[in-house]
Chains A and B, each alone.
Chain A
Amino acid sequence: MASVTCACWPAHLGPAPAGPLSLPVCFPWSHPAPLLHRRGTRSPGRKGLALGPPQGSAPPDPLSQQLVPPPLTGVLMYRDYPLEQFMAQCYGNVNDPGKGRQMPVHYGCKERHFVTISSPLATQIPQAVGAAYAAKRANANRIVICYFGEGAASEGDAHAGFNFAATLECPIIFFCRNNGYAISTPTSEQYRGDGIARGPGYGILSIRVDGNDVFAVYNATKEARRRAVAENQPFLIEAMTYRIGHHSTSDDSSAYRSVDEVNYWDKQDHPISRLRHYMQSRGWWDDEQEKAWRKQSRKKVRATSCCRPTPQGTLEGRRLGFGGQ
C-alpha cells in the first residue's frame, strides 16, 4: 500500500490531556474560528464540530467527507491548509490543486489526507469504510473519519456503509453533524427514529454529543479513535447542533424558519462564543485580543481574495479523464 507523508502533530501540544483543557490546546481551536467566520460562513455550530475532531484524531487520519464545506473547512484549516488554496479552489483559478474542475468549496488535499469532496451525498460513506479496511490490512494504526449530515444519513449509501463497517470490522468513525435542516427539510421530515445514533441497529457503538461543545466533541472523538484502532470496530458519533446560516448563497432560510429560532441559537448556544467565554474565564483571552484578532482575520481574508489570477491551463489534462497510462 502506498504510504502518504503527512503533516506532523504539533509537538508543543503533547499528548492530548484528559482533564480540563489547557491554553495550548484551546488556542489552535480559537484561531481558525474568526477566519471561518470572516469567509462569510455563518454556521458556527458546524464550526464547533469542525474544530473538535481533528485534534482528537491526530496523527492525521484520512478524512472523507460530504460536501458541507463551511464547517469542515475548519478541519482543513486546522491542518494548516493555506487560505490561498481555499480561495483558489473557489475561484477555479490556475492555482487550484483541483484544476478548476469542480464548483466552489469542493476541497481536497493529498498531503493532509483530506479526500476531495464531491457533490453526491453519502457516497463517501462506503468509500471511507473501504479505506478503513485497507488501513486495517496494512497495520497502519490509522482510522478513517467520515463526516456527513443528518440528511445524507437517509441515503442508501449510509446504510450500506454502516453495515459494511460492522460486518467487516473496520476502524472508522462515522461523524454525523445533525444541524436540524437539510436545506429546508427539518429533521421531523428526515427521520422518525431516535436521530442518527442508530448504530446499535447495525452493531455499531454510538454516542450523541452536544455538537456546540468543543470539549465534548473532542473527548468523544478521541476516545472513539483510541478504541477504533485498538479494537478494529466502527463508532458512530452524532453531534447535535444548529445551522444558523442559510444552506447556501442560493437559499433564503426565512422562507422555512423563523428569525427567532435562528437568533436563539446564535445568541444562546454559539460554539465559538462558548469557547471564548471559557477562555476568558481562565484569563487566556480578553476583549482586546478578540478585537485585534478579528481585525487581523478580516484583513487576511480580504488580502487573499484580492488575488485572482486568471484561469489557464485547465483544459490540459488527460483525454477522457484517464490517467496513469
Chain B
Amino acid sequence: MAAEAAAAGRLWLSACRAGGHWRRLCSAGLLRGFLQPASAVGDAARRRQLAHFTFQPDPEHQDYGQTQKMNLFQAVTSALDNSLAKDPTAVIFGEDVAFGGVFRCTVGLRDKYGKDRVFNTPLCEQGIVGFGIGIAVTGATAIAEIQFADYIFPAFDQIVNEAAKYRYRSGDLFNCGSLTIRSPWGCVGHGALYHSQSPEAFFAHCPGIKVVVPRSPFQAKGLLLSCIEDKNPCIFFEPKILYRAAVEQVPVEPYNIPLSQAEIIQEGSDVTLVAWGTQVHVIREVASMAQEKLGVSCEVIDLRTILPWDVDTVCKSVIKTGRLLISHEAPLTGGFASEISSTVQEECFLNLEAPISRVCGYDTPFPHIFEPFYIPDKWKCYDALRKMINY
C-alpha cells in the first residue's frame, strides 16, 4: 500500500513537472495526501489515514461475468475503456487527461485508443463543456472531465443555458444527449474551499440534465456507463475520497445500473436514512449504531441519481417508517435535502411521526483545518436520529 502510494506519488510528480496544475494541487495538499513514506507505520500514520467513514463494499455481484478487484478510479477507467471500445465516435477530453488524469482515471486510454480520442484541452472549463456540447450535437459521444467539481462554475452557462435546453428549445431538431461530464466531488480530508465542494444542488435546479453520484466502484462503473449511453446530457460526480479508499470486485465487462432508481441497501422499519456518495457509508454506520444502542431499525437508501430523483422509493419508505433523515456534505440552505424534504412532506404528511431531519454541512465555505467539525459525521447524524425517535 505504501509502496504503491509512493510510486503513485512519483508518477504524480513527473506529471506535474511536465506542466499542469502543479501550483494548484500543491497548495491543495493533495500531493501530500498521496505520498506516504515507506516507513509509515504506527499510530501517527493511522491517525493521518483516519477518515470520517468506513467504506463498506457490496457483496460480489455474480450476474455480470468475471470480476476484478478495482478501486473507484480503476472502475471509472474500466467504464471509459468499455465505452471507447464499443463506440468509435467516443472521445475523452479535459485538463490533463492525456497522461492519465490527476486522479488516474484515464491511465492507458490514450495509448490504447489514440491521441485524437483521448486528449488535453486548454485550461478552460467553459470551453471544455461548450466543445463537448458541439461534439455531441453531431451525434458523437463526448466525455468531458472537469478536474474538480469546484471548478465547474465557469461552465455553468454552457450546462444550464445550453446543454440542458438544447433539445427543448429546438423542438427536438437538435440535442446534445451524448454528452457526459465527469468531475471529482466531495470532501477529501484536506481539500478546503476549492477541492471539496459538492455542487449537485446547483444543477438539481435545472430541468434537462441528469445528475448522478455513485457510492462505490461497482456503482460507479454501472452508473457511468448508463450516463454515457443516456440520451440526455449527464453530470457524473465522483467522490474523490473514495478513488483509492473504496475497493471491491467489479465486473470487467460493461454493465448498466439504471438511472433515477434509488437503492435500498438495508431494509428497516423505524427510520428512513437517505444519502448519496461518500455519505452513504456514514449513514450505514449510523444505522448500525442505532440498532446497537437504541434498538432502532433503519432503512438506508442510496439516492444515486439526484436529478431526476426516485421520489417513489423514498416516499414508499417514509410511509412505512414515518421518519426521514437526509444527510449531505453540501451546505444546509438550498441543499438537495431541502428538495427531498419538501416533496416528502407533500406526499407523506400524515405518515410522518417527526419533522424531517437534514444533517448537512454548515452554511459557510468549506474550511481547511476545520473540516472534521464541518462535515455531517456519524455523531451529528446519530444525534439527529435520536431526537427524531424521541420526538
Question: Is B one of A's binding partners?
Answer: yes
Q: How far is the CB of A215 from chain B (nearest CB, A)?
A: 31
The answer to whether A168 touches B165 (Cβ under 8 A) is no
Q: Are A120 and B169 in contact (CB under 8 A)?
A: no
List the B side residues contacting A127 at CB < 8 Å.
Answer: 130-131, 133-134, 137, 162
Determine which residue in B129, B130, B172, B174 has the highest number of CB atoms from chain A within 10 A of its CB, and name it: B130
Q: How far is the CA of A325 from the CA of B234 in the complex (A)?
A: 14
- Chain B residues near A19: list those with CB within 8 A: none
The reply to whether A98 and B173 contact each other, CB–CB distance below 8 Å, is yes
Judge if B138 is at the interface, Cβ distance under 8 Å: yes
Interface string of B211-249 (1 = CB under 8 A from A): 000000000000000000011100000000000000000
- Known contacts: A125-B130, A128-B134. The answer to whether A322 contacts B173 by CB under 8 A is no
Residues of B within 8 A of A193 (CB): none
- Inter-chain contact A134/B138, CB cutoff 8 Å: yes
Report the separation of the CA atoms of residues A241 and B158 in the bound assembly, to the nearest whole angstrom.
30
| Chain B residues whose CB sits within 8 angstroms of the CB of A168 once the complex forms | 119, 121, 131
**Smallest CB separation, B160 vs chain A (Å):** 10
Which residues does chain B contribute within 8 Å of A116, judged by CB atoms? Answer: 166, 169-171, 173-174
Contact between chains at B177 and A1 (CB < 8 Å): no
B137 touching A131, Cβ below 8 Å: yes
Residue among B91, B127, B136, B207 with max Cβ neighbours from chain A (10 Å): B127
Chain A, residues 142-183, CB within 8 Å of chain B (1/0): the string is 000000000000001101110110011000000000000000
Q: Which A residues are in CB contact (< 8 Å) with B380?
A: none
Query: Do residues B140 and A137 form an inter-chain contact, with CB atoms below 8 A?
Result: yes
Given contacts A120-B162, A134-B138, A156-B126, 20 further A-B pairs with CB under 8 A are A1-B89, A1-B138, A98-B171, A118-B161, A127-B133, A129-B130, A130-B132, A130-B133, A131-B138, A133-B134, A134-B89, A134-B139, A160-B122, A160-B131, A161-B127, A164-B121, A320-B207, A323-B177, A323-B232, A325-B231
How far apart sit A132 and B91, CA to CA, in the bound complex (Å)?
14
Q: Are B232 and A126 in contact, CB atoms less than 8 angstroms apart?
A: no
Query: A1 is contacted by which of B122, B139, B168 (Cβ under 8 Å)?
Result: B139
A102 on the interface (CB 8 Å rule)? yes
Whether B168 pairs with A160 at a CB distance below 8 angstroms is no
Instruction: Say whether B164 faces chain A, with CB atoms less than 8 Å apart.
Output: yes
Asked whether, in the complex, the Cβ of B171 is within 8 Å of the Cβ of A101, the reply is yes
Q: Which residues of B contact A101 (CB under 8 A)?
A: 168-169, 171
Q: Chain A 194-206, CB within 8 Å of chain B: the 1/0 string? A: 0000000000000
Residue of B nearest to A102 (CB): B169
A30–B107 Cα distance when bound, in Å, is 57
Min CB–CB distance A123 → chain B (angstroms) = 5
Q: Are A164 and B124 in contact (CB under 8 A)?
A: yes
The complex places the Cα of A135 from the Cα of B140 at a distance, in Å, of: 10
Is A108 touching B174 in the complex (CB atoms < 8 A)?
yes
CA distance A130 to B233 in the complex (A): 15
Expressed in whole angstroms, the minimum distance between the Cβ of A187 and any Cβ of chain B is 24
Contacts of B167 in A (CB 8 A): 318, 321-323
**Leading 10 A-B pairs by shortest Cβ distance:** A130-B134, A324-B231, A126-B130, A160-B127, A2-B139, A99-B171, A321-B168, A127-B134, A116-B170, A130-B131
Instruction: Using CB atoms, name the residue of chain A closest to B210.
Output: A322
Chain B residues contacting A167 (CB-CB under 8 Å) are 121-122
Q: Do A133 and B158 touch across chains, with their CB atoms under 8 A apart?
A: no
Shortest CB distance B131–A (Å)? 4
Chain A residue with Cβ nearest B162: A123
Min Cβ gap A128→B in Å is 6
A137 x B116 contact (CB < 8 A): yes
19 A-B interface contacts by CB (under 8 A): A62-B138, A101-B168, A101-B169, A108-B174, A118-B169, A120-B162, A123-B158, A125-B130, A126-B126, A127-B130, A128-B134, A129-B130, A131-B137, A135-B138, A161-B130, A164-B122, A164-B127, A168-B119, A317-B168
Give residues in A with beta carbon < 8 Å to B: 1-2, 62, 64, 96-102, 106, 108-110, 115-116, 118, 120, 123, 125-135, 137-138, 156-157, 159-161, 163-164, 167-168, 317-318, 320-325
Chain B residues, CB < 8 A from A126 = 126-127, 129-131, 133-134, 158
B9 adjacent to chain A (CB < 8 Å): no
Q: Is the CB of B169 within 8 A of A322?
A: no
User: B169 touching A115 by the CB < 8 A rule?
Assistant: no
Q: Which B residues are in CB contact (< 8 Å) with A317?
A: 168, 172
Is the interface on chain B under 10, 10 to 19, 20 to 34, or 35 or more residues? Answer: 35 or more
Chain A's nearest CB lies how many Å from the CB of B164?
7
Asked whether B175 is an interface residue with its Cβ less than 8 Å from the other chain, the reply is yes
Measured CB to CB, the closest approach of chain A to B135, in angstroms, equals: 4
Q: Which of A62, A98, A132, A157 contacts B169 (CB 8 A)?
A: A98
Q: Which B residue's beta carbon lies closest to that of A165?
A: B131
**Is residue B157 contacting chain A, with contact meaning CB distance below 8 A?**
yes
Tell me which residues across on chain A come within 8 A of B139, comparing CB atoms: 1-2, 134
Closest to B91 in A: A137
Known: A101-B168, A116-B169. A133 touches B131 (CB 8 A): yes
Most buried by A among B132, B139, B154, B171: B171
Q: How far is the CB of B115 from chain A (nearest CB, A)?
A: 11
Contacts of A320 in B (CB 8 A): 207-208, 308
Q: What B residues does A106 contact at CB under 8 A?
A: 169
* Closest CB in chain A relative to B331 CB, distance in Å: 25
Q: Are A322 and B135 in contact (CB under 8 A)?
A: no
Shortest C-beta distance, A252 to chain B (Å), equals 28
Q: 8 Å CB contacts to A: which residues of B142-189? A: 142, 154, 157-158, 161-162, 164-175, 177
CA gap between A110 and B166 in the complex, in Å: 13
User: Known: A120-B162, A126-B126, A133-B131. Contact between A323 and B175, CB under 8 A?
Assistant: yes
Say yes or no: A129 contacts B173, CB within 8 Å.
no
Closest Cβ–Cβ distance, residue A225 to chain B (whole Å) = 18
Candidate in A96, A132, A133, A325 with the most chain B CB atoms within 10 angstroms: A133
Q: Which of A2, A109, A120, A324 contacts B138 (CB 8 A)?
A: A2
A115–B136 CA distance with the chains assembled, in angstroms: 13
Whole-angstrom CA separation of A216 from B308 in the bound complex:
52
Give bound CA distance, A78 to B68, whole Å: 58
For B175, the chain A residues whose CB sits under 8 A away are 323-324
Given contacts A125-B130, A157-B130, A168-B121, contact A97 B171 (CB under 8 A): yes
The distance from the CB of B234 to the nearest CB of chain A, in whole angstroms, is 11
Q: Which A-chain residue is minimally distant from B231 (CB atoms)?
A: A324
Chain B, range 98-113, C-beta contacts under 8 Å to A: none
Question: How many Å lie between the Cα of A303 and that of B133 in the bound state?
Answer: 39
